[in-house]
Amino acid sequence: MSMNNAPNVFLDANANRFQVNIINEDRDNNETTQEDVGSDPPHYEETSFTDETHNRLRISYRPGKRELYDNFRQNGEKTEASLHPYDTHSKMYYLQTFGHNTMDPVPKIDYYRNTGSVSGNKLNRPSLLEIHEQLAKNIAVSTGSVERVANGESTTGDETAASKEEENKTGFVKFGWVKGVLVRCMLNIWGVMLFIRLSWIVGQAGIGLGIIVIALSVVVTTLTGISMSAICTNGVVRGGGAYYLISRSLGPEFGGSIGLIFAFANAVAVAMYVVGFAETVVELLKESDTLMVDESNDIRIIGTITVVCLLGISVAGMEWEAKAQVILLIVLLVAIANFFIGTVIPTNTEKKARGFFNYQASIFAENFGPDFRSGEGFFSVFAIFFPAATGILAGANISGDLKDPQSAIPQGTMLAILITTIAYIAVAICAASCVVRDATGNVNDTIVPGMSCNGSSACGLGYDFSRCASQPCDYGLMNNFQVMSMVSGFGPLITAGIFSATLSSALASLVSAPKVFQALCKDNVYKGLEFFAKGYGKNNEPIRGYVLTFVIAMAFILIAELNTIAPIISNFFLASYALINFSCFHASYAKSPGWRPAFRYYNMWVSLFGALLCCGVMFVINWWAALITYAIELFLYIYVTYKKPEVNWGSSTQALYFVNALDSALALTTVEDHVKNFRPQCLALTGAPMVRPALLDITHTFTKNNGLCICCEVYTGPRKLCVKEMNSGMEKKQAWLTKNKRKAFYAAVAADSFRDGVKSLLQASGLGRMKPNTLVMGFKKDWRSAPATQVENYVGIIHDAFDFELGVIIVRISQGFDISQVLQVQEELEKLEQERLALEATIKENDFEEGKRGICGFFKKASTLNISKHETKKESTINTMQSMHVGEFNQRLLEASTQFKKKQGKGTIDIWWLFDDGGLTILIPYILTIRKKWKNCKLRIFTGGKVNRIEEEKLVMASLLSKFRIKFADINIICDINIKPNKESWKFFEEMIEPYRLHESCKDITTAEKLKRETPWKITDAELEAFKEKSYRQVRLNELLQEHSRAANLIVLSLPVPRKGAVSDYLYMAWLEILSKNLPPILMVRGNHKNVLTFYS
């Protein structure tokens, strides 16, 4: 069958530069294919990025295919010739990429989208397993799915496609960089400060220092804008503005804390701006003597009406709000232009008396230097001006409503900073070049010939304002806040500009606060705020957030002392700026490969300087407000950290954790091990950690905050199934450890046998110096009924651990560790409960429907209720039976599985330190006693000795333990370890090993040799005789343990070492069985015979 390129080609017009053809495997088309081979020459694709007029992409065509492509582009749909005419239900297909038949798709942006992306459907590329394994021969494809498969998309994308189609029908309103960012930022930066405070600032600081004040403010905002531009261009930006940028960079702890106070600050800012507007209106009413009640109440009334009107505009939708912003910007620009025009219009006598003389070099020179009065200084003036430079986040705060936030936010914000800075400097210079600092306003204060003058610029221009030095004057830069109105060509336009500045800032804050708050609530960082996450309409408007912002704004308009709260609000904004700068620095410092901002004009150290500068400015503006801001941030940070929201945004904090951990691990490799720093680092053979919780608990008790703990699982069986199961369970089991607060790692391997898997883990687990030095495993309780290969593997693992110089701890409890049967029953019960609840819900729904249908419905309802009662009773019976089953068979197992989680009462830990293994046998119980759950237990030491040296042996052991600084309650010297056990005990031991004995001495040599070959694992008579004394000792030890330690909370016992090639597996298992039988929980410990204790300092 021919496998060459098919003649009919469907070219994707999306950003896919390579050709992917759908090939029909039908033999009937061979002739057509052969014809194409003869007619079409070899095709080589060529890509060019030089032609911008073709969307920066040039697509090459086969001869005769350009017409087909043009047809597709014009009609927007596939022609019949674009796909092979075959029945997709019965034919097989495959993909051809780069001239080869393969399931591999070409690179495409849709593979990298998040699920539910609003900018396009997420496509699912073939998994590595699908490409790596053999291709299935019978692939059934539904009609219409060919295009998706050709692009690598699975059929699960239908739902996403449907949602996108619905989205396209409703139509989101998205803004470009001008209307969405530039206009908003300019309006928010140009506040009332421009019209009523800038002249006073330049009067105090002079032109020189005034420009420095403006420049220093702009440095802060520009550095923040640069950092924000870098963050914005490092990936797709969603709604949430400053909160989104900080939370996705630094994580939910920083983002959650700043998001809440930033939203609150914007809500209170609405009240501040509205009150500024209301005060201006009340001043006009006062001048015309038309106050409604009094000044305070009129401000409240006008403020309330204004907020209601602004709320109406906001709730009407972003379209209306954007139109209102454009109108306000036009008014504001006209007002500013009106001021500049007024500076060149010839002044009159009245304006001269108020200090306005048009542009004069003498006035410029006089006003260039500072003249601080009334206790003001550079930093106090700076603190007053700086809020006028804020507002750069106005565009970023509606990032969810921008067409392309990545380019719009940097472009619009930086241009807004540039334009507004030029305007501020120009207004300051113009005002200080035209108006003197002090003027009386009296037209008669002119210079008369022969009159002495103080030498001021006003004297040179014919006016004597010298009395302003001794008594207060009402006019001039220092005294009159309405200088811009006086200078302007038409005064009321400046008032309109003040209205525009206040209303536009209030409107921007009224929109920003709910948008940021909605994004915060959607992320569910604060559990109780989900109510405000819901959006309405085609733009997902946060109506509930608008109402909340309205309530907060109204409260501060009616009852708050805004002069007190204003510094805190300014500091809240500055805290946001500081964290944006720090986010950029932190992301760069973490060196994550994912940090690839398209905006290149930033530097990590400049961003850090910007963050520190913002923190400094916070204290310059108001030190106590800065402290309050830091305290609130710290409280919210601790709260979010404690709650640990289940989010993963790939923050730079995570990246830095990795870098720090890697650096620490590498640094640790250069440090030589020392006995004083020894700690148990355990490889625990728990399997799935939830299946043997007691084994994990006891291991975790002496490794928590002290050493490494790795929970290991070995998958055996068909490799394909094992690897699939292992990969699917890794994250789930590690998550279980984290959820249950177990400071441990989970590791799994797939191997041909259990022993091979453990051998791999023993060799490869750990990192650098953080490698396991102790193997922890449960006692194989079913060794007598298990296949010989399992017993061989179990004992072989102990041999392997000793070969790799690891210590070994074997733990035994009376009920065993494996609770998989209980977990299975619990899972079944949960399923039954879910089915019961679903059934009840269905019956209730049916009852509701039937209740609507008269008398017939009544009888049907009664019948249904009967059935439901019967079904419920049946389910209840099942549940009761299952519960009884669990209670009868597994209650003791469940209790045993949690025994190490409970606090141990007063009792003892009995240590049978029979052989010196380097000290691990004594170190493990010591570590247990410093844990909270075991601190009430005392250590009792048991060791062997001679009858005639009991006191001396006690003194020697006490001296040794005191040098090790290990406290103990008692020392017992056991002198009768080596005597024979009683007959009953020995008889039990012999009966236990009887099924595994070879009894070769009772058979002829030929038969014996044959049996040895067939059953090499059996215990020979020669072996039993050679290790008879050792077997006696194990049996005798159990008798002594029963006598002395039956009431202990825990027994720690020296583990006997099986000599390789001499002690058979079953004999060794019999020793372990008889040693630990019918006892409290017991740890059989053997160190690697290297010192783990020292008495040297």
pLDDT single digits (tens) 1028-1043: 999 999 999 999 999 9
Report the distance separating Cα 577 and Cα 564, nearest Å.
22
Report the distance separating Cα 100 and Cα 4, nearest Å.
8
The answer, yes or no, to whether residue 1044 has pLDDT greater than 50, is: yes
Q: What pLDDT, in 10s, does the model give residues 948-964?
A: 888 898 999 999 999 99
Vertex 128, ends 126 and 130: CA angle to 5°? 60
Question: pLDDT grade, residue 291 (50/70/90)?
Answer: confident
Average the pLDDT over each of 282-296, 334-348, 894-908, 918-932 and give the range with the smallest value: 282-296
CA 266 to the chain's CA centroid? 25
Q: Which of 133, 128, 126, 132 is nearest to 151 (CA)?
A: 126
Residue 541's beta-bridge partner residues? 536
What are the CA-CA distances from residue 625 to residues 246, 260, 578, 611, 714 (Å)?
22, 17, 15, 17, 59
Question: pLDDT grade, residue 897 (50/70/90)?
Answer: confident
Report the distance separating Cα 800 and Cα 794, nearest Å.
10
**Encoding tokens for residue 630?**
């830091």
Q: Which of 355, 758, 391 is nearest to 570 (CA)?
A: 391
Report the distance separating Cα 758 and Cα 803, nearest Å.
13
**Encoding tokens for residue 1097?**
């300092």
DSSP state of 907: E
Question: pLDDT grade, residue 108 (50/70/90)?
Answer: confident
What are the CA-CA distances from residue 970 to residues 941, 943, 973, 1048 (Å)?
6, 11, 10, 13
Answer for the pair 709, 927: CB distance below 8 angstroms, yes or no.
Answer: no
Question: pLDDT grade, residue 147 (50/70/90)?
Answer: very low
The answer, yes or no, to whether residue 861 has pLDDT greater than 70, is: no
Report the distance separating Cα 250 and Cα 817, nearest Å.
42
The answer, yes or no, to whether residue 64 has pLDDT greater than 70, is: no
List b or e across 558-587, with b for residues whose CB sees 16 or more CB atoms inside 10 angstroms.
eebeeeebbbbbbbbbbbbbbbbbbbbbbb
Q: What pLDDT, in 10s, does the model give residues 325-359?
A: 888 889 989 999 999 999 998 888 888 888 888 88
DSSP state of 97: E
Can you say whether residue 741 is alpha, beta or left, with left for phi > 0 and alpha for psi between -120 and 50 degrees?
left
Q: Which of 91, 77, 89 is nearest to 147 (CA)?
A: 77
Report the distance separating Cα 506 and Cα 1010, nearest Å.
98
Please tell me the chain's helix, strand, coil percentages from 3-state DSSP, rounded to the nearest 5: 60, 10, 35
Answer for the pair 614, 577: CB distance below 8 angstroms, yes or no.
Answer: yes
Question: pLDDT grade, residue 149 (50/70/90)?
Answer: very low
The answer, yes or no, to whether residue 74 has pLDDT greater than 50, is: no
**What average pLDDT does this structure show over 792-816?**
93
**Higher per-residue pLDDT: 714 or 851:** 714
Model-level pTM? 0.69
List b or e across 472-507, with b for residues whose CB sees 16 or more CB atoms inside 10 angstroms.
ebebbbbbbebbbbbbbeeeebbbbbbbbbbbbbbb
Please tell me the predicted confidence (pLDDT) of residue 889.
Answer: 53
Q: Which of 239, 184, 173, 580 is nearest to 398 (CA)?
A: 239
Q: 171: how many CB neighbours lie within 10 A of its CB?
A: 9
In the chain, the amino acid numbered 722 is C
The answer, yes or no, to whether residue 219 has pLDDT greater than 90, is: yes
E strands, 764-871, are: 774-778, 807-812
Mean pLDDT of the chain, nearest integer:
79
Q: Where are the alpha helices (DSSP H) in 345-445?
A: 349-353, 361-368, 378-385, 405-434
Answer for the pair 164, 121: CB distance below 8 angstroms, yes or no.
Answer: yes
Can you say whether residue 591 is alpha, beta or left, with left for phi > 0 and alpha for psi between -120 and 50 degrees?
left
Please tell me the predicted confidence (pLDDT) of residue 179.
Answer: 84
DSSP state of 531: G
Residue 748's beta-bridge partner residues? 713
HEC letters along 723-749 = HHHHHHHHHHHHHHHHHCCCCCEEEEE
Average the pLDDT over each of 304-308, 397-401, 906-910, 985-989 and give the range with the smallest value: 397-401
Contacts of 874 (CB under 8 A, 6+ apart): none
Question: pLDDT grade, residue 184 (50/70/90)?
Answer: confident
DSSP state of 482: T
* Bridging pattern class, strands 93-97 and 100-102: antiparallel
| Tokens 């944006």 sit on residue | 580
**Encoding tokens for residue 238?**
């969603």
Percentage of the residues of the chain whose pLDDT score is greater than 70: 81
**Higher per-residue pLDDT: 641 or 610:** 610
For 106, the enclosing helix (H) or strand (E) is none
Report the distance separating Cα 832 and Cα 839, nearest Å.
10
**Higher per-residue pLDDT: 943 or 1006:** 943
Please tell me the predicted confidence (pLDDT) of residue 99.
Answer: 55
Answer for the pair 104, 97: CB distance below 8 angstroms, yes or no.
Answer: yes
In the chain, the amino acid numbered 949 is R
DSSP state of 435: B
For 1052, the enclosing helix (H) or strand (E) is strand 1050-1054
In the chain, the amino acid numbered 981 is P
DSSP state of 527: G
Report the distance separating Cα 778 and Cα 816, nearest Å.
8
Please tell me the predicted confidence (pLDDT) of residue 382.
Answer: 87
**Higher per-residue pLDDT: 706 or 120:** 706
